[in-house]
Chains A and B, each alone.
Chain A
Amino acid sequence: MPISLFYFLVFTGIFILLGWAIYIVYRNGQLNNVPIAAMAVGAYICAYLTRELHWPFLPALLAAMGGGAVFSFVPALGLGRAPGFSMTIATIAMIFITQTVLRNMAFLGGVYGFYSIPRVDHLLIVTYVIVFIVGFFIFRLERSRIGRAMEVVFIDTSVARTLKINTYWLSVWLQVFAGVLGAIAGVLFANLVRILVPRHFSLGMLLNIYCFMFVGGYTTMWGVVVFTPILWGFPLLLPEAVAEWKDTIYGLLLVVTMLLRPEGVISKKMLWDIKVSVKRFFINRRKS
């Protein structure tokens, strides 16, 4: 397999996980950016455990997930009731705080970074097994009581409360889950790039994920799945002179999507229509 295709596919898997991490809390009406900071935490935990303490990959992954959960649980307690805008601002601050703390931790390489992280075999397979498991979990979650509760909270928090939904703990739980997903993405990132620098986990990455999610569609998990490879991949296929305009193209796409189709290209209604059309097609075929 060409090296570029390998990196493209693994990065796509990482971005899908990050996209879902942001999506899952957004379904609850809150834009939470902690997954990027949790990604840094997960990446550094895994890197430290594998390089310095020679832990195997799986225990390091589990430890990183635990780290991501604890890391996102603490702010979640305070942000559980925060309105959307406050949470966005507070969690952006979390990204900067995490970067600053990491920069000042000499044992993690500080500003110079953490190098020579051991290589993991079959990273591509590992990535997509994780993506599949997480995807299946989210798919089932959305169809559960919690998923329906999220749906109501997204539409109206007051209505949700009248239905006896505990919006606070629902938000806390989802934020922790998003933190775990961020940490998993961080572990994969650390094992792919094999070098960590605090600067890696910045707003630039967050804005890419926003673009993948909001252009793809934020009302369903499939928007991220379909549009992450497309939006991440097209600058790599374009000639360099055009690809340099990647950020401008992303920005324009986001603006155009917001204007013409605010819910993103793939919406719940669209998926429903597709389902009905497919059913009809098969019924008609059977009849004929």
Chain B
Amino acid sequence: MKIVVCIKQVPDTTEVKIDPETKTLVREGVESITNPFDEFAIEEGLLTKEKYGGEVHVITMGPPQAKEVLKNAYAVGSDYVYLISDRAFAGADTWATAYTLSAAIKKIGDFDLVICGKQAIDGDTAQVGPGIATQLNIPQLTYVDKVVEIDPDNKKIKVERLLEDGKEVVEASLPALITVVKDINEPRLPSLFGIKKAAKLDIPTWTADDLPVDKDKLGLKGSPTEVINVFSPEVRGGGEILEGEIPEVVSTLVEKLMDMKIIQ
């Protein structure tokens, strides 16, 4: 099994602050961590390797400091890590990100399984995983909370998906992409042996020139969507629930709306 795990470096905070001027995330003074859902993705990659044999490749796209999350991925036991980094990738939306990551996955080649976290805690879009699957033209199994079984010989994977109102078990052919939810496993801590190895590792960096890509489809330039505004929504006050017989409630409602000059 050749497994590719895609991870993202995100700010370590539950209170994301936005600069009102630039409309971007305030990153100063905020420590960066591996996106928590991606920790489950890495662990699932390691568990799959331990069960079925093979190797785990971990990639991330980001600035040079994103190497830190790759070092952590290496310290817990991933076999290969790559940083996808180039000024040309800057400003990528989910489409351009998925395009770039899928090119890196093609470069790794001969993969059987791609694993992503279900979404990143900063952007919260949950689009990059499915985007990669679409770019690679392989099946996508999202919100997986359990890998039921993998049949490497017949190239099949069976998973349990967590839906809003239940669970479903589905099967797909390999290669496939899965996105995982929290609690699919218990991510391990790196040992000091792993940390020592990782600290010494020189992480390979792939730029746009190293990837099979059309350069017009990269970064801000290649992004079909544009962020117009980012803001914290104002907190809404509680509503009022009118009770009683319907005709009575309706006339109260109309009176109130007229008082508020919403209808006349």
A, B: real partners: no
